[in-house]
Amino acid sequence: MAGFFMTLSPAFPCNQCGACCRLVSLAQETQFLDRGDGACRHYDDQNRLCTIYDTRPLVCQVEKQYLLNYQQQYSWWEFIDVNRIACLELEKMAAQPAE
């Protein structure tokens, strides 16, 4: 299966802020990863890294999600733009103090 997926260029511009990993409870597609506090059970808070990055779920793999589910709807550049908007919103939400 690894050979099935082509490399998209440019790569998705992830800044590794971890906001999407700390807010998995917000999306129905990622709620199964919630460790109970809204964050992914595979997210290392101290290092701000995924502990299973090489074997992370498909929903966490932006390029593969595009190829499998969105390439008929968006160009790769449009998909990057839509996801960057979502990333910025998640970053804002993650920066807000917990109530």
> According to the model, what pLDDT value does residue 98 have?
64
Question: pLDDT at residue 2 above 60?
Answer: no
The pTM of the whole model exceeds 0.85: no
Residue 78's H or E segment, with its range, is helix 76-95
d(CA 84, CA 99): 26
Q: What is the pLDDT of residues 23-82, one digit of tens each?
A: 999 999 999 999 999 999 999 999 999 999 999 999 999 999 999 999 999 999 999 999
Q: What is the DSSP letter of 34?
A: B
Give me the residue spans of the domains in the chain: 14-95
Vertex 36 angle, CA 20 and 34, to 5°: 40
Question: pLDDT at residue 6 above 90?
Answer: no
Residue 66's H or E segment, with its range, is none
